């Protein structure tokens, strides 16, 4: 961040200024319940707890899909898949509960 000089003031050697409009952050946080886990590919479907009429198709890796079961409630960070419309890539599972 900088250096403290002899007068105990913070000095900056370099300041980088950017426009906030240029920063693109597509990450979304969802809180929902897993309603379907694909047997053929590492994809699962989550229905948000606050909107039962929508759903997210989320693609993950083969290790994570083994730990996911239908009925589980999760909080996850996801990003839109640039190649497949209406599909999201799992960034991280923040919290999960076992099936109730």
pLDDT tens by residue, 38-78: 999 999 999 999 999 999 999 999 999 999 999 999 999 99
Contact between 56 and 46 under an 8 Å Cβ cutoff? The reply is: yes
pLDDT tens by residue, 11-31: 888 888 888 888 888 899 999
What are the residue boundaries of the structural domains of the chain, listed by start? Answer: 24-96
Query: C-alpha 48: how far from its chain's center?
Result: 14
The percent of residues in the chain predicted with pLDDT above 90, rounded, is 62
Spatial CA neighbour of 81 closest among 53, 32, 43: 43
Q: In terms of C-beta density within 10 A (0-12 exposed, 13-18 middle, 19 or more buried), how is residue 4 classed?
A: exposed
In this predicted structure, which of 28-32, 83-87, 93-97 has the lowest mean pLDDT? 93-97
Greatest pairwise CA separation for the chain in angstroms = 65
Q: In terms of C-beta density within 10 A (0-12 exposed, 13-18 middle, 19 or more buried), how is residue 32 classed?
A: buried
CATH topology of domain 24-96: OB fold (Dihydrolipoamide Acetyltransferase, E2P) (2.40.50)
């Amino acid at each position: 961040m900088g250096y403290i000089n002899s007068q105990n003031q913070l000095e900056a050697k370099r300041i980088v200024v950017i426009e906030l409009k240029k920063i693109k952050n597509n990450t979304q946080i969802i809180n929902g319940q897993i309603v379907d886990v694909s047997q053929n590919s590492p994809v699962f479907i989550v229905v948000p707890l606050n909107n039962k009429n929508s759903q997210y198709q989320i693609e993950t890796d083969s290790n994570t899909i083994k730990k996911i079961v239908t009925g589980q409630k999760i909080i996850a960070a996801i990003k839109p898949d640039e190649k497949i419309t209406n599909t999201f890539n799992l960034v991280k599972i923040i919290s999960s509960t076992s099936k109730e």
